[in-house]
Amino acid sequence: MNELFPILSGLLVGSVLTLVRPQTRLLVGVIASVLLGTTATVISGEYMIGWEFLLIDIPLVAISSAVGLAMARAVRGRGGPRLPSPRRFH
């Protein structure tokens, strides 16, 4: 249950990354992954056990954001059903 926040926040970041310019997309994704991974570690209280939980939460946010970006691009790329072009008969 503690991993729900990093996964959902990563998916959200990934879907928002489609709005960011491609030149800065990687930088924004890395910064967001570090910030949200650290936030997830603090919110869950895992930091009291050890900060090594950052090594789990940050990559979890990053992987989830990559999946969210791929899903958003796939949905956006579809655009609706593709119908065959009408053929004109003369």
State the pLDDT confidence band at 1, using cuts at 50, 70 and 90.
low
Contacts of 30 (CB under 8 A, 6+ apart): 62
- Per-residue confidence (pLDDT) for residue 37, from 0 to 100: 95
State the pLDDT confidence band at 87, using cuts at 50, 70 and 90.
low
* Contact between residue 58 and residue 51 where contact means Cβ atoms under 8 Å apart: no
Q: What is the pLDDT of residues 28-56, one digit of tens each?
A: 999 999 999 999 999 998 889 998 999 99
